[in-house]
Structure 1
Amino acid sequence: MNDIDATVHHLRHTLSQLEAGEIGPEAVCARFRLAALQWNGLPQRYAQVLERLLQPLDTAVMLGEESCSFSRADLVQALGQWLDHAAQLPR
């Protein structure tokens, strides 16, 4: 397993944990942002899209998850799609 494969596996596990309520939004944001910084060859547009996807989680951290109106399932799906596309990038 190379570094990208390990990163993708780790982020998929992170999404499973978020979906199950095992970790909070702050952990998801931190893990995805760290992975993006360490992801060699990740185009800037992917980083920009990731930031837009993470914005609802940032808001949840600041205001409290209960006061935010985002669908956890939709967010997990969107981040999963981002991860699918990023994993397909040429290495």
Structure 2
Amino acid sequence: MRKLRLAAFLLLTAVLSFSVINAAAPSKTQSVTKEKRRTNFVEIQKRLKNMGYYTGKLDGINGSLTKKAIQTYKNNQGTDKKLEQLLAREGLN
């Protein structure tokens, strides 16, 4: 009986340890997606900056300056097809 309890305890410990380690490690897909989004936002910022809508640095972060520039661009009914595609890809169209 003691051996059975010990085996069950060790098995439970191993399963829980694996679950915690697995949950803590970011998946490769998440980091690729995050990097792709940053790249998309750098391109969005670059295009907005070239048109005079964005005044911040090209950091790839969808912060307040980027959001304001996107909104101003939309309000002025911009026609940059590549920018429109990037905004659509990020769900911002």
Q: What TM-score, normalized by structure 2, do the two folds share?
A: 0.31
Instruction: Say which structure is richer in helix.
Output: 1
Q: What TM-score, normalized by structure 1, do the two folds share?
A: 0.31
Larger Rg: 2
